[in-house]
Amino acid sequence: MRCLIQYIATSILLCLGLLSMPELALADVRLEKKFPALELTPEERQYLNKKSQLTMCVDPDWMPYEKIENGQHVGMSADFMRLFAKKINIPIVLVPSRSWGESLALGRQRQCDIFSLILATPKRQQFLDFSEPYIGFPLVIATGYEQIFINDIRSILDKKLGIQKDYAYAELLRLQYPDIHLVEVDSLAEGLAKVTSKQLFAMIGSLPSIAYIFNKEHIGELKITGKLDHLWQLGVGVRNDEPLLVGIFNKAIASIQNTERQAINNRWMTTRYELGTDYTVLIKVVIVFALVLALFLYHHFQLRKYNRLLKHLSVTDKLTNISNRTDLDEKVERNLYSAERYQHPFSLILLDMDHFKSVNDIQGHLVGDYVLQTIATLLKEHIRVVDTVGRWGARSF
């Protein structure tokens, strides 16, 4: 709510001409400062000295994360890459490409030492190792403005859902939802345009990327009506035939200061405004009152919804969407008191999954998460209305 008030107050001052955009501009990230040397092993230092530079592939059209513009790498990951280059004290050189698919092909051909920002998938593990993540975001669902809130993506698996070509989301979503109807498009902008023209029911993409395009286009036509459960974590992809490189970048990522990270986030996640200079006094007054009215209406209609949401989140396991340990403890205690008072029995069943560790070790944690979600769904579908199912521990229900 405080952020909303600040946003409205800033908008009022902008509209009245009492504040200019240069006064709002955030300071650029200062990457010229001297960084303390990372604690690299002799082997890692020898490797970097021998390399003299690292070649880098990027997504040429994925703002605000990154883009190739006039031959230069720009965006959030570009700022992080300049930061990493300073920290490991080696130049990072861009390998130009015209599409993300072309970048992936260059990586398979070993023409790129690193990918600036990439999500790990089984197919990519054939030629890449992956650092610890340094950027995370949720996937959201963008639809026409007339659509109601989508609480669960499983309710729209039969509809045409757009996804960007060669993006990891498609591979992982098909693994998690085998019946999903995904339609690949060349770009996020193309997919959103197809949603506008009703060729697609919805477009799936990262929240910042969709918000970035919404800020320029589709105002009043499209909106975000749903969010997927997972927080997608991305890091640096490094060629897996030079194993020292992933350890070097893990050290660089671990050395990032909160102030450095926040400066980059502020620079690229702040909405940019383009204002004309011919507003009349009447229009300014109308905007002021409209914004103030919107504030009170928003507060009135959303407060109870937020309270319900917070209560739901506090008692729900994030991965499986069933009761968490806190909720189970409370319900067991309440039923125990009731049983003692009224002298009636109640049952508590604990279910544990054998050999689950081998699933994570062999198939990966994404598959392990899918197994847990599937078990939770089966349990929910086979209990009575008066029963409760929850996640007691990491692999027990």
DSSP string, 313-382: HHTB-TTT-SB-HHHHHHHHHHHHHHHHHHT--------B-TTHHHHHHHH-HHHHHHHHHHHHHHHHHT
CB atoms within 10 A of CB 352: 11
Distance CA 72, CA 68 (A): 5
How would residue 115 be classed by pLDDT, with cut points 50, 70 and 90? very high
CA–chain centroid gap for 378, Å, is 28
Task: Tokens for 389, please give them.
Answer: 């199912």
**12-37 residue pLDDT tens:** 444 444 444 433 333 333 333 445 56
Say what the pLDDT of residue 29 is: 37
How would residue 84 be classed by pLDDT, with cut points 50, 70 and 90? very high
Distance CA 87, CA 38 (A): 7
Per-residue pLDDT at 90 exceeds 70 = yes
**166-189 residue pLDDT tens:** 888 788 888 889 999 999 998 888
Residue pair 253/235 in contact by the 8 Å Cβ criterion = yes
Helix, strand and coil in the chain, % to nearest 5 = 45, 20, 35
**Domain spans in the chain, listed from the N-terminal domain onward:** 1-23+279-309, 24-134+234-269, 136-232, 315-397
Which range, 263-277, 279-293, 349-363, is most confident? 349-363
Say what the pLDDT of residue 272 is: 38
Angle at 269 (CA atoms; ends 268, 270), nearest 5 degrees: 95
Residue pair 246/98 in contact by the 8 Å Cβ criterion = no
Question: Domain 24-134+234-269: what homologous superfamily?
Answer: Periplasmic binding protein-like II (3.40.190.10)
Query: What architecture (CATH level 2) is domain 315-397?
Result: 2-Layer Sandwich (3.30)
The values of phi and psi at residue 352, to 5°, are -120, 145
Task: Tokens for 395, please give them.
Answer: 């692999």
Please name the residue ranges forming H helices in 59-154.
Answer: 76-88, 100-108
**Among the four given CATH numbers 3.50.50.60, 3.60.10.10, 3.40.190.10, 3.40.50.720, the one describing domain 136-232:** 3.40.190.10
Residue pair 249/238 in contact by the 8 Å Cβ criterion = yes
**328-387 residue pLDDT tens:** 788 888 888 888 888 888 788 888 878 777 877 788 878 778 888 888 888 888 888 778
Per-residue pLDDT at 276 exceeds 60 = no
**32-80 residue pLDDT tens:** 344 556 889 999 999 999 998 999 999 999 888 899 999 999 999 999 9
How would residue 282 be classed by pLDDT, with cut points 50, 70 and 90? low
Say what the pLDDT of residue 28 is: 37
**Comparing 136-232 with 315-397, is the CATH topology the same?**
no
